[in-house]
Structure 1
Amino acid sequence: MTEGRRERKKQRTRQALIEAAVELFEAKGFQDTTVAEIAEAADVSTRTFFLHFPTKEDVLLANAEWRFDLGVQAIAERKAGESVADVLRRAAQEMITDAWQTDLPDGLAALRARLIATVPALQAGLAQRLLTGQAVLIDAVHQSFSDQLPVIDAAALVGGVLGAINAAALVSLQRGDGPDDVRAAMSRALELALGTREIGTGLG
């Protein structure tokens, strides 16, 4: 099997596990669903489950690392003449689009938003991933603009953007918005954080 085929098979298995987990969490509840049941529903072994996810909480946090990698890549591809705001906007939009294409359509983001208030392990896992990803993005922005942007300023800008996007997504998901509306809420929050949109305009 070629490397490309192997990777595609791996991604199909991972997606099958995510879809099975979401369906079972919705039907039985998060606490009452076991890893063995998720694996069986995805037609794989429990061992295969653990090759993809350390715990069942990690299924709900799938794609986080990849999403931050997309942001870092976008920052690394800074074009001549781009401002810090330009680069941050492009990086954030890459991350928002990925969420819209993955977590939002399959119900993963909505389920995560509902469970975040009641599952301490999920809260801890999400916080850890956000902090790790934020640190990586801060370093990427600082390195890209090291001649003009102190690291504290980079931290404030990245923290403001991520905080705004995540807060808007959470509220939008918790009120039952669909994928397109959640994406619009995140994009609007991004522009508010960058100071390019007036507060209170276009309220949903």
Structure 2
Amino acid sequence: MAEVVLFHHALGLTPGVLAFADDLRAAGHVVHTPDLFAGKTFDDLADGIEHAEEVGFDVLLDRGREAVADLTHAVVHAGMSLGVLPAQMLAQTMDGARGAVLLHGCIPPEEFETPWPQGLRVQVHTMTADDLGDVDVARGLAATVPSAEVFEYPGDAHLFTDRGTADHDPAAAALVLERVLAFLAALDETA
């Protein structure tokens, strides 16, 4: 069993994000779903991104730090799109992280003050033609981080794992879930 902190995308803590967390819980994992938007949700991605910009990315990162402040043991940091920002920052900078799962994009590791930790496993899942999915950044991460796995899915949808969005791709989302569960199981085997 792994303990996972799953940060939501720019639409907020939607039923689709919670459903993905519930899928992980159903496999026996403990999953925390912090709300970086303090209850606000959006139907339009542009509106959610605008809200994130108004709040400020530094504030969102601080909220991410606060969300894990009481967790005293190793966790897997996971994020969907905008949620990749705190998830990746915490995985890179917080001692004891067990791994990272980055859905719908990733950040160049050099954006954070510390390099990617030696041996810290990471999975990135994105669609190949998604303009927001950072596929080139993901490929760069895989080229420089030996413990990185990058999975590209055909298509151009962004939030394809959120079953409440028009972007939802059931087949790709099922494959993401299968791969994430295998990743978490492998972390348990090496613990």
TM-score by structure 2 length? 0.31
Pick the structure with more helix per residue: 1
TM-score by structure 1 length? 0.30
